A and B are shown apart, each in its own frame.
Chain A
């Protein structure tokens, strides 16, 4: 089980949380001007990252707040949790 560090409540068992998918996907400002393909891309298309991944979680059984988590999709290591308004860690230069 993951141990997730809620920014408000501290470290808690994964069973208290729900995952909300990839983080930092901004809603298009002028949605009405998008093509169907562009709208579908916003709604449905997500990156399938192998490595560090920014995703949203909600502390459903605790403070019921959404926040962001940086989790490694291979090792499940969590290196950072931060508020919804926070910026993701810049990706490191690949080899």
Chain B
């Protein structure tokens, strides 16, 4: 019943343009498709149900808090909004469990898996790369924080996977090629 369309993202799975970055102290890889669920509600009303549906994922705490539980992540995008990132094959089940757990509550659950792709940016020059693209100091980012900002005019969500060396960057597919070009270009200054 659940029809999952498998397809290549805008950059393909393993773009050759990223192959030479290692010589510049940078690794960039396209993350295989992720399940992404946009969740809205008041945390004190929904936290329990979300934890039950998502292996104990904790959505309490301030905006831009980022926390993992198993293979799932919660990125708090606003006082009443989260991006839940789950394994792709769990998306439908997670959304269904959330809907069941939050039945009767004032909440919204939307599958937004196609809204963004993710790049993993790592290597000793990862922080330098971000420094050349944004005025924010990404090295300041605690392990439990995400940041919503712009890189080269593309809106992104960044969170550390293994700070200070690896970061996951979510961006809209239509900006993927643009940001990829900018990253490759920026290596000239690293």
- Docked Cα-Cα span, A64 to B155, in Å, equals 11
- Docked Cα-Cα span, A68 to B175, in Å, equals 30
- Docked Cα-Cα span, A16 to B136, in Å, equals 12
Closest chain-B Cβ to A11's Cβ sits at a distance in Å of 9
- Docked Cα-Cα span, A62 to B136, in Å, equals 12
- Docked Cα-Cα span, A65 to B136, in Å, equals 19
User: Do A63 and B149 touch across chains, with their CB atoms under 8 A apart?
Assistant: no
Closest to A15 in B: B150
Closest to A65 in B: B78
User: Do A63 and B148 touch across chains, with their CB atoms under 8 A apart?
Assistant: yes
User: Do A8 and B79 touch across chains, with their CB atoms under 8 A apart?
Assistant: yes
Is A77 an interface residue when CB atoms closer than 8 A count as contact? Answer: no
Size of the A side of the interface (Cβ < 8 Å), in residues, is 11
Cβ proximity bits A34-75 to B, threshold 8 Å, 1 near / 0 not:
000000000000000000000000000111110000000000
B63's partner among A12, A15, A16, A63 (CB-CB below 8 A) is A63
Q: Which residues of B contact A64 (CB under 8 A)?
A: 77-78
Closest chain-A Cβ to B66's Cβ sits at a distance in Å of 13
How many interface residues does chain B have, given as a range? 10 to 19
Closest chain-A Cβ to B179's Cβ sits at a distance in Å of 14
Closest to B80 in A: A65
User: Do A8 and B149 touch across chains, with their CB atoms under 8 A apart?
Assistant: no
Is B135 an interface residue when CB atoms closer than 8 A count as contact? Answer: yes
- Docked Cα-Cα span, A12 to B149, in Å, equals 9
Cβ proximity bits B65-106 to A, threshold 8 Å, 1 near / 0 not:
000000000000111000000000000000000000000000
User: Do A8 and B150 touch across chains, with their CB atoms under 8 A apart?
Assistant: no
Q: Which residues of B contact A62 (CB under 8 A)?
A: 148-149
B64's partner among A8, A13, A16, A61 (CB-CB below 8 A) is A8
Is A87 an interface residue when CB atoms closer than 8 A count as contact? Answer: no
Residues A63 and B78 in contact in the complex (CB < 8 Å), given A8-B64, A9-B64: yes
User: Do B150 and A63 touch across chains, with their CB atoms under 8 A apart?
Assistant: no
- Docked Cα-Cα span, A13 to B137, in Å, equals 12
Cβ proximity bits B143-176 to A, threshold 8 Å, 1 near / 0 not:
0000111100001000000000000000000000
- Docked Cα-Cα span, A61 to B152, in Å, equals 12
- Docked Cα-Cα span, A63 to B150, in Å, equals 12
User: Do A61 and B150 touch across chains, with their CB atoms under 8 A apart?
Assistant: yes
B contact set with A: CB distance below 8 Å: 62-64, 77-79, 135-136, 147-150, 155
A contact set with B: CB distance below 8 Å: 8-9, 12-13, 15-16, 61-65
Sampled A-B contacts (17; CB under 8 Å): A8-B79, A9-B64, A9-B147, A13-B135, A16-B149, A16-B150, A61-B148, A61-B150, A61-B155, A62-B149, A63-B63, A63-B77, A63-B78, A63-B148, A64-B77, A65-B78, A65-B79
